[in-house]
Structure formats: C-alpha cells, structure tokens
Amino acid sequence: MIARVTSKGQMTVPKNVREFMGLEPGDAVLISMLGEKVTMERIIPLDELERVPVPEEVRTMSDEERQRLIDEGHRRRWEAKVRRESPDWQPEDDDPT
C-alpha cells in the first residue's frame, strides 16, 4: 500500500490497515522507530484493559524502585523486538522467561 504525506506532514491510514488494527476515529497509536523501520501500534484505552491486582511488594516499593522495574521491562521488550527483527532470528531463539 502507498500513502501520500501532505504538506502538513499528515497521512491517511488506508482503510484496510485501519480495519486490521481496529482503529476508530480518535484512537491513539504508538509510532516506534528501529533503524530505518517505523512501526505503528494501537494504544489500548484504559477502559478496555482488565484491572490487575497489584502485588503487595510492588505497592510498597518506592517510586524509584517501581521506575527501575518498569525500565527493565521496557529494556527486555526492546531487546526481544530487536532480536525478532534480526535477519537470523528463529522462533526458538526467544527466551520463554
């Protein structure tokens, strides 16, 4: 598919892509860059997420400890994404932990 960019830097997401991603007017998307690749993901609104109970050990953490935990999770997901996008990646390469 080809989409054109307007003079204001705007672009229309093709209908079949919007339908595939479940995008509706007003939805937010996360745009990520990795090297020369750009990906787009729908951001799920909070009201669509199930409420998950927060373990006691997380509730009693300091803000700094919680932020370190979040940053570590982001780092792990980013590294997994980089591995999956490597030309040599095989599904069995992913660590199940």
Quote the tokens at residue 78.
Answer: 């980013």
- What's residue 95's pLDDT? 59
Q: Answer yes or no: do 60 and 39 share one domain.
A: no
Q: Answer yes or no: do 28 and 64 share one domain.
A: no
Q: Answer yes or no: do 6 and 33 share one domain.
A: yes
Q: Are 20 and 34 in contact (CB under 8 A)?
A: no
Task: State whether the Cα torsion 56-62-64-65 is positive or negative.
Answer: negative
Q: Are 29 and 41 in contact (CB under 8 A)?
A: yes
Any idea what the CATH number is for the domain that residue 40 is in?
2.10.260
Q: Answer yes or no: do 40 and 5 share one domain.
A: yes
* Residues spanned by the domain of 87: 53-97
39-52 pLDDT tens trace: 999 888 777 767 77
Q: Answer yes or no: do 8 and 37 share one domain.
A: yes
62-71 pLDDT tens trace: 989 988 888 9
Q: Are 42 and 27 in contact (CB under 8 A)?
A: yes
Q: Are 31 and 38 in contact (CB under 8 A)?
A: yes
Number of domains in the chain: 2
